[in-house]
Amino acid sequence: MKVHRSLASFPRTGNAVVTIGTFDGVHLGHQKIIRRVLERAVESDGESVLLTFFPHPRMILYPDDHGLKLLNTMEEKVALLDKYGIGHLVVHPFTLEFSRTSVTAYVRDLLVNGLGTKKLVIGYDHHFGRNREGSLADLRELSQVYGFSVEEIPEQDIDDVAISSTKIRNALLEGDVQTALEFMGHAYTVSGTVAEGRKLGRKLGFPTANIEVPEPYKLIPASGIYAAKVILEDGREYNAAVSIGKRPTFEKDGATTVEVYLMEFEGNLYGQKLTLSFLHRLRDEIKYDNTASLVSQMKKDVEMAKRLLSA
């Protein structure tokens, strides 16, 4: 997949099969749209193109009150879209000025002059342009003017999947990583760099890597203990137990941390980037009366994680 960080860098061919959206999570509903784009591109011997926007529109339109948590960073989204076969990803910068683009200018300047759209594939009830005024009816009318066709994925096809990014976010905020996996068709991932922590895990016999996630908008699953697969920068994969929470046994009202215990790993991870794939939630975060009780439970957590991940 070729990634174009601006419309100007896209090599307009005049035979592009295009879809548009944020595609947060690249879930099964999104994958239906992608498959249709790929089918139509093969039929017309054209280029498959996905147009998305960054920053997310809500970050720009409501900078102080968007409260937005996204399923994917742009890096994660690029990797997923590449996996599902899109030929070109165009990331168009979303600005206040761009948010005021009229419906006609949006179609003319982005879709036609910018991308050379020959066929547009959109999800059900797609809206675009200033104040999201543009609709399917506008697209059909303007397609006659500018010489491209429009295909909307039928409502029943979307309903068959009954999946949305919002449903996935809500599941993760409750710690339900298995529902997220079922809705996305792939495990939910969080990536971050290993930073020096208080080394509490090492003192308890379970040395953990403290993960710093640089993107503040990235959704972190609910507090609790999880079984996960972890991939290191060099591609090595390990089974892991992950703790997300405020370490209530040791701190009162502490900051939320993401700590990872890699099974059968020896070495120094400081400064490395780790990618965590969440597969099972083991339990809630609990405050223990003493460290002996906590260590006893940690041993049980690691054993359960081993069993679940080996299965």
Chain segment 273-295, per-residue pLDDT in tens: 999 999 999 999 988 888 888 88
Mean pLDDT of 171-190: 96
Confidence of residue 202 (pLDDT cuts 50, 70, 90): low
Mean pLDDT of the chain: 91
Three-state SS string over the chain comes to: CEEECCHHHCCCCCCEEEEECCCCCCCHHHHHHHHHHHHHHHHHCCEEEEEEEECCHHHHHCCCCCCCCECCCHHHHHHHHHHCCCCEEEEEECCHHHHCCCHHHHHHHHHHHHCCEEEEEECCCCCECHHHCECHHHHHHHHHHHCCEEEECCHHHHHHHCCCHHHHHHHHHCCCHHHHHHHHCCCEEEEEEEECCCCHHHHCCCCCEEEECCCCCECCCCCEEEEEEEECCCCCEEEEEEEEECCCCCCCCCCCEEEEEECCCCCCCCCCEEEEEEEEEEECCCCCCCHHHHHHHHHHHHHHHHHHHHC
Which has the higher per-residue pLDDT, 280 or 159? 280
Confidence of residue 247 (pLDDT cuts 50, 70, 90): confident
Domain spans in the chain, listed from the N-terminal domain onward: 2-163, 177-310
Residues 177-310, CATH architecture = Beta Barrel (2.40)
Residue 13 has what pLDDT? 82
Residue 246 has what pLDDT? 86
Angle at 85 between CA 83 and CA 91, to 5 degrees: 85
Mean pLDDT of 221-249: 94
Mean pLDDT of 136-165: 83
pLDDT tens per residue across span 42-99 = 999 999 999 999 999 989 988 887 788 999 999 999 999 999 999 999 999 999 999 9
Residue 216 has what pLDDT? 92
**Lowest-confidence pick of 1-5, 122-126, 149-153, 268-272:** 122-126
**Lowest-confidence pick of 60-64, 152-156, 209-213:** 152-156
Mean pLDDT of 235-263: 89
Confidence of residue 204 (pLDDT cuts 50, 70, 90): low
Residue 203 has what pLDDT? 63
Residue 138 has what pLDDT? 96
Confidence of residue 249 (pLDDT cuts 50, 70, 90): confident
Give the best-scoring range by mean pLDDT among 149-158, 213-222, 253-262. 213-222
pLDDT exceeds 60 at position 156: no
Residue 201 has what pLDDT? 61
pLDDT exceeds 90 at position 200: no
Confidence of residue 231 (pLDDT cuts 50, 70, 90): very high
Confidence of residue 24 (pLDDT cuts 50, 70, 90): very high
Mean pLDDT of 6-11: 91
CATH of 2-163, one of 3.10.20.90, 3.40.50.1980, 3.40.50.620, 3.40.1110.10: 3.40.50.620
Residue 287 has what pLDDT? 84
Which has the higher per-residue pLDDT, 119 or 287? 119
